[in-house]
Chain A
């Protein structure tokens, strides 16, 4: 076990809390019907995005799917532009054209979020291919859910990436569900890392609730990808706490075994890292309070700025269909 890196843990903790609070703020305000687009919230899954994005350098580029809020923020995407996008504003990260399902921040290195399951995986490999062709540094990182493993694109992409030993890391967030359907009703029982191995792609399994474990595994994967060892797969077990799409709890629908969600909440990535930080003396009540106050005032300000921004003018609707 590596030495506890207090500074890293604190940075991770701050990012986890910030993302959690953003998501909870969206959930709390969603019933006001001002955020008029579908939202797939990341509450419970923050450990994966933060653990996988913190080790990235500015050259590393991320592509995500429909559930991309955490990845966007963890990669350094602009919070106000994200909230403005969800509010359908001109200042949104897509100028209101995409909504929550299409977050991107090119400057921050989040190139695209694509809500057609598996659709962004080839894009990530294309990014890795271009990096190599252009003799540029940087690894492509694709986040995907357990459902994306079922797409043809996933297998075709892994095969191609492995064949060409491209610098790409696939970060698979296994929350056990595709919408309401559990993994066991969609895939035969086998470790998801074996799927990568069948394409010659090295994989690691980690607990997505353990920021430090995800972070360490991602560092290993990045070193391998950068050194020319080809694509890497990180399978992180995690849990989605809220409904698949929308702001509410959906446990009453009965699609999860009784108690599963409560147990998942016991494994909260924030609480886990917080406990470690407290034990190390890095975190106390005062610092925690200050962190939450800080994060919440940032979020309030971002909501206010997003809300105040203008809606895109209809006169601009036809722009950018062609170059």
Chain B
């Protein structure tokens, strides 16, 4: 893997997803794509651009605003062996289709004792920033991850996004893939070969010995930033990208905590009943004797996302807050804390809290 990544191309997450879709359509005759906007000029943030021209309207299907219906239609197609990939430009639009997802997609394999399966991928985009407000900026991964029968994954880098998509559509179960809008433009190396184990569980993104930071999706980037700043005061933080929320494989995290003895988990969605709660509970059950400090959790507070930017700063944790939690877990002295804070402050490329970077002009 390391070798092939060196030879890899640099793709944005959006480009990698587009490549994954194109290859899936190419390699799997049963695969097809469905969603609102998949054939339009913007092509779901560039992820479906050109697919209809290449594969035709039968395999790249523009849909009416009928989310529950077309989710069920996808499930129905699965019963005859098709492999649909559906996409929504916001997580919230999937809420209209929870009935089909939870009652049918997640149950048919069990109900038929394995005679039927629902090999579909549901791509959902998590909105954030630019004042999108309470109904266009929800993450909700733990809602999906609460349901047995579903697989739920959150890529934080381009190669994982493509490989999760391609592995998911070749698999035999419904996969909910949550893509963070702030990651679509983030570039990373993408090898030609698909990693077939991408859905098997977490991956260590940075090695360390002093504490373990576990994050999902966009928060992996903030955790890496925090780890960078902590390194300046001699703290090595191990950063683990959880990647797959269901089925939850926590062995690599347990292994890390056995070494570090300290755990901070950062949720992309709400902290209460978030993935962090499950991770911390399980690690506490299994590794209590290795923990040198109480595990800590970060995530969105118990309120909706407001539109006004003045309310965004206290809503979304950043590297600063992650470093602060790490400092607490480590019992860092004031001088080191201030040093870390200063570094993060200096490295912050811009002060805007409602866009990923100043070049980001939307659409959101």
Contact = CB atoms under 8 A, between A and B. Distances in A.
A186 B363 CA distance: 23
B311 A37 contact: no
Given A152-B96, A314-B310, A99 B65 contact: no
A321 interface: yes
B134 A98 contact: yes
B41 A254 contact: yes
B66 A152 contact: yes
Given A37-B133, A98-B134, A178-B36, A317 B311 contact: yes
Contacts of A181: 36-37, 39-40, 62
A242 to B, nearest CB: 14
Contacts of A318: 301-303
A97 B310 contact: no
A102 B41 contact: no
A312 B310 contact: yes
Contacts of B69: 152
Interface string A161-183: 00000000000000000111100
Contact of B306 (A100, A147, A317): A317
Interface string A96-110: 111111100000000
A116 B311 contact: no
Contacts, number: 134
Contact of B65 (A100, A151, A253, A254): A151
A150 B36 CA distance: 12
Contacts of B130: 36-38
A205 interface: no
A97 B132 CA distance: 10
Interface residues of B, number: 41
Interface string B63-76: 11110110000000
Given A116-B92, A147-B65, A245 B363 contact: yes
B177 to A, nearest CB: 21
Contacts of A99: 131-133, 307-308
Interface residues of A, number: 46
Q: Which of B96, B301, B311 has its CB near the most chain A CB atoms (within 10 A)?
A: B311
Given A101-B135, A116-B93, A255 B307 contact: no
Q: Is the interface of A mostly helix, strand, loop or mixed?
A: loop
Nearest to A147: B65
A317 B314 contact: yes
B303 to A, nearest CB: 5
Contact of A312 (B40, B41, B93, B308): B308
Contact of B310 (A96, A98, A152): A96
Contacts of A88: 131, 307-310
Contact of B307 (A37, A114, A118): A37
Interface of A: 36-38, 85, 88-90, 92, 94-102, 114-118, 147-148, 150-152, 178-181, 185-187, 245-246, 253-255, 311-314, 317-318, 321
> Top 8 A-B pairs ranked by shortest CB distance?
A37-B131, A96-B308, A99-B307, A88-B308, A150-B64, A311-B310, A180-B40, A253-B41
Given A36-B354, A253-B41, 13 more contacts: A85-B307, A90-B308, A92-B308, A101-B135, A116-B96, A147-B64, A152-B66, A178-B64, A180-B41, A254-B41, A311-B310, A317-B311, A321-B302
10 contacts: A38-B130, A97-B306, A97-B311, A98-B306, A102-B134, A102-B307, A152-B68, A179-B37, A245-B363, A311-B308
Interface of B: 36-37, 39-42, 62-66, 68-69, 92-93, 95-96, 130-136, 301-304, 306-311, 313-315, 354, 362-364
